[in-house]
């Protein structure tokens, strides 16, 4: 598949919460990479909006400092100048009309200066509690109406904290915006390897015929991090691993792995198929929650010879906290392709390795041709899609070890992104920002998908809240999670594929 090279539409990007970490670490570097690769037109401007009072001059020098820090010494001076000319800031209270009237005035000036046809995209890098307010205020001064140019709104996660809150947020936003103007971002969809799942499955003819219950025994999805909660204890303690990772990032991986071929790569065709998978995931009864889910919280431990403190000792975390930092689920997808094929998913902080991958475990060969030999235990085939840190795909199969007697060993056939395509400079946000600027919503969440995802996890959250964990902390920092996580697969005679860092 190759897409024709095109430029983003002429537009202004307005970042709410512009003085935060996301703007520094991801958004500006992503814009820089896009401009460097010549995807941005000259008719482009950026306006940062924050509660902090600051001049445009101060904001620009922060931006320059951040870009120099994140891009490194090779930062292109001409490009920095290009950004400087186009970057502005306006500060004020998000609840005050004045903040928005000043923004409106600034936008008009920039439209004129850079010949921009009133196309605006708003990036809400704010706490979710402000999503509704900012959108409403923007509507009050006519910044949501599309009569003079397009208006798009990107909302960062978390989008709600359960089914009810996600529904109310959808209702609140849809009162003001059309669904086609709402871009709910999930940065996992910006990752090359995640986008490659569709190309791997549907751009090759050899995998799809065996991608079903006749050949696949089960699927494992792991998103393990070595990091703890860092400086986000306040947010994380009220969220937990399940909310933070599963209805968003992990369900993206599940749907892309499990979906039927879409009729085209048009946004709704792809999202329809993803939504069908979410609707086909069997709901968890309270009984299921006890048997098909596992939660954990990290205690003290060691990672790379360094001592790590327990979650409960982290800054801004309640010392008696019952919030989970690890979650594992056994999902069943009730459809023709996947009946009887469990999808085991797990995610956790302070685990043994940074390791995100999807493992497709195939069934054993049916004919035990080698029954009488020493290799009675045939190896099973496995495809591992490595998402990070080493992006690539491995096919695991059995091969005869050279020699006069039949002996079989397990071998890996590896495709590694870096070896084939060289290093790609990317923050993971480039593609998503560019897609928003060109009006392609394929990699963004639709309202029904967000609600279907929360509908799956909300019953788990309810049971976990009603029955607080009594054994926390129940895994050591630097381990592969609580023993109950291994037991979840062992009860089905299966085992997690752990990698050693
Ligand atoms: C974020 C979560 O959405 O994703 C974090 O809030 C998590 O807790 C992060 O660390 C993981 O993203 P990545 O790209 O590092 O796998």
pTM for the structure as a whole: 0.94
- Angle, CA 59 vertex, CA 71 and CA 153 arms, to 5°: 85
Per-residue pLDDT tens for 7-46? Answer: 999 999 999 999 998 999 999 999 999 999 999 999 999 9
Per-residue pLDDT tens for 451-473? Answer: 999 999 999 999 999 999 999 99
Q: Which residues contact 175 (CB under 8 A, 6 or more apart)?
A: none
DSSP string spanning 394-438?
EEEEEEEPSSSS--EEEEEEEEEHHHHH------S-HHHHHHHHH
Residue 1 clears pLDDT 50, i.e. is over it: no
Residues near ligand 1 (Cβ within 6 A)? 157, 225, 244
Cα Rg of the chain, angstroms: 24
Could you tell me the pLDDT band of residue 172, with boundaries at 50, 70 and 90? Answer: very high
pLDDT of res. 501:
44
Mean pLDDT rounded to a whole number for the chain: 93
Give nearest CA residue, ligand 1 atom 6: 244
Pocket test for ligand 1, best of 238, 245, 252, 354 (most atoms within 8 A of CB): 245
The residue from 88, 249, 355, 396 that is catalytic is 249
Distance 225 CA to ligand 1 centre (A): 9
Give nearest CA residue, ligand 1 atom 5: 244
pLDDT of res. 401:
82
Distance 452 CA to ligand 1 centre (A): 21
Cα–Cα distance, 350 to 474 (Å, whole number): 12
Asked if the peptide bond before residue 473 counts as cis, ω within 30 degrees of 0, the response is yes
The DSSP 8-state label assigned to residue 388 in this structure reads E
Per-residue pLDDT tens for 205-249? Answer: 999 999 999 999 999 999 999 999 998 999 999 999 999 999 999
Per-residue pLDDT tens for 407-445? Answer: 777 889 999 988 888 777 788 899 999 999 999 999 999
Give nearest CA residue, ligand 1 atom 14: 188
- Nearest 10 degrees: Cα torsion 154, 122, 158, 177: -70
DSSP string spanning 81-98?
HHHHHHEEEEE--TT-HH
Mean pLDDT of 157-161: 92
Q: Which atom of ligand 1 is nearest to the CA of 157?
A: 3
Distance 437 CA to ligand 1 centre (A): 24
pLDDT of res. 396:
92
Give nearest CA residue, ligand 1 atom 4: 245
Cα–Cα distance, 496 to 139 (Å, whole number): 50
Sheet of strand 182-184: strand arrangement:
87-91, 44-50, 11-16, 120-124, 151-155, 182-184
The beta strand positions in 56-208, using DSSP E, are: 87-91, 120-124, 151-155, 182-184
pLDDT of res. 3:
58
Could you tell me the pLDDT band of residue 369, with boundaries at 50, 70 and 90? Answer: low
Per-residue pLDDT tens for 335-352? Answer: 999 999 999 999 999 999
Residue 367 clears pLDDT 70, i.e. is over it: no
Are the C-beta atoms of residues 177 and 132 closer than 8 Å to each other? no
Q: What are the tokens at 186?
A: 């999930």
Q: What are the tokens at 322?
A: 């019952």
187 among known catalytic residues = no
Residue 287 clears pLDDT 50, i.e. is over it: yes
Q: Which of 1-10, 118-127, 182-191, 259-268 has the lowest mean pLDDT?
A: 1-10
């Amino acid at each position: 598949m190759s897409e024709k090279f095109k430029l983003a539409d002429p537009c202004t990007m307005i970042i709410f919460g512009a003085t935060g970490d996301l703007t520094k670490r991801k958004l500006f570097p992503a814009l820089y990479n896009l401009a460097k690769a010549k995807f941005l037109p000259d008719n482009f401007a950026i306006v940062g909006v924050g509660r902090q009072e600051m001049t445009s001059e101060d904001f620009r020098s922060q931006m320059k400092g951040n870009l120099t820090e994140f891009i490194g010494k090779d930062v292109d001076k001409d490009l920095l100048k290009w950004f400087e000319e186009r970057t502005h800031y306006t500060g004020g209270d998000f609840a005050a009309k004045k903040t928005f009237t000043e923004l409106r005035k600034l936008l008009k000036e920039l439209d004129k200066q850079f010949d921009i046809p009133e196309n605006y995209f708003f990036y809400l890098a704010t706490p979710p509690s402000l999503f509704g307010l900012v959108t409403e205020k923007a509507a009050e001064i006519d910044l949501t109406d599309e009569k003079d140019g397009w208006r798009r709104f990107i909302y960062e996660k978390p989008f709600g904290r359960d089914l009810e809150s996600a529904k109310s947020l959808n209702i609140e936003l849809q009162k003001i915006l059309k669904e086609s103007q709402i871009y709910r971002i999930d940065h996992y969809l910006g990752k090359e390897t995640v986008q490659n799942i569709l190309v791997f499955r549907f751009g090759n003819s050899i995998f799809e015929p065996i991608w079903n219950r006749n050949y696949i025994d089960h699927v494992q999805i792991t998103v393990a991090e070595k990091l703890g909660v860092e400086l986000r204890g306040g947010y994380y303690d009220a969220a937990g691993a399940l909310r933070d990772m599963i209805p968003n990032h992990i369900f993206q991986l599940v749907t892309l792995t499990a979906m039927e071929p879409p009729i085209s790569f048009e946004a709704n065709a792809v999202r329809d198929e993803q939504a069908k998978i979410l609707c086909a995931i069997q709901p968890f009864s309270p009984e299921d929650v006890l048997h098909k889910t596992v939660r954990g919280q990290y205690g003290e431990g060691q990672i790379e010879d360094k001592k790590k403190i327990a979650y409960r000792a982290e800054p801004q975390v309640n010392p008696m906290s019952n919030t989970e930092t690890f979650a594992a689920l056994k999902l069943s997808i009730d459809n023709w392709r996947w009946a009887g094929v469990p999808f085991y998913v797990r995610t956790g902080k302070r685990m043994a390795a940074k390791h995100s991958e999807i493992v497709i475990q195939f069934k054993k060969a049916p004919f035990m041709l080698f029954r009488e030999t020493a290799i009675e235990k045939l190896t099973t085939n496995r495809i591992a899609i490595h998402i990070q840190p080493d992006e690539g795909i491995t096919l695991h199969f059995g091969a005869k070890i050279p020699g006069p007697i039949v002996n079989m060993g397990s071998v890996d056939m590896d495709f590694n992104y870096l070896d084939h395509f060289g290093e790609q400079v990317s923050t993971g946000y480039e593609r998503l920002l560019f897609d928003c600027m060109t009006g392609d919503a394929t990699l963004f969440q639709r309202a029904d998908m967000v609600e279907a995802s929360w509908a799956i996890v909300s019953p788990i959250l309810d049971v976990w809240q009603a029955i607080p964990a009594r054994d926390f902390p129940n895994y050591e920092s630097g381990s592969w999670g609580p023993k109950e996580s291994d037991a979840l697969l062992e009860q089905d005679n299966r085992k997690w594929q752990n990698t050693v860092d």
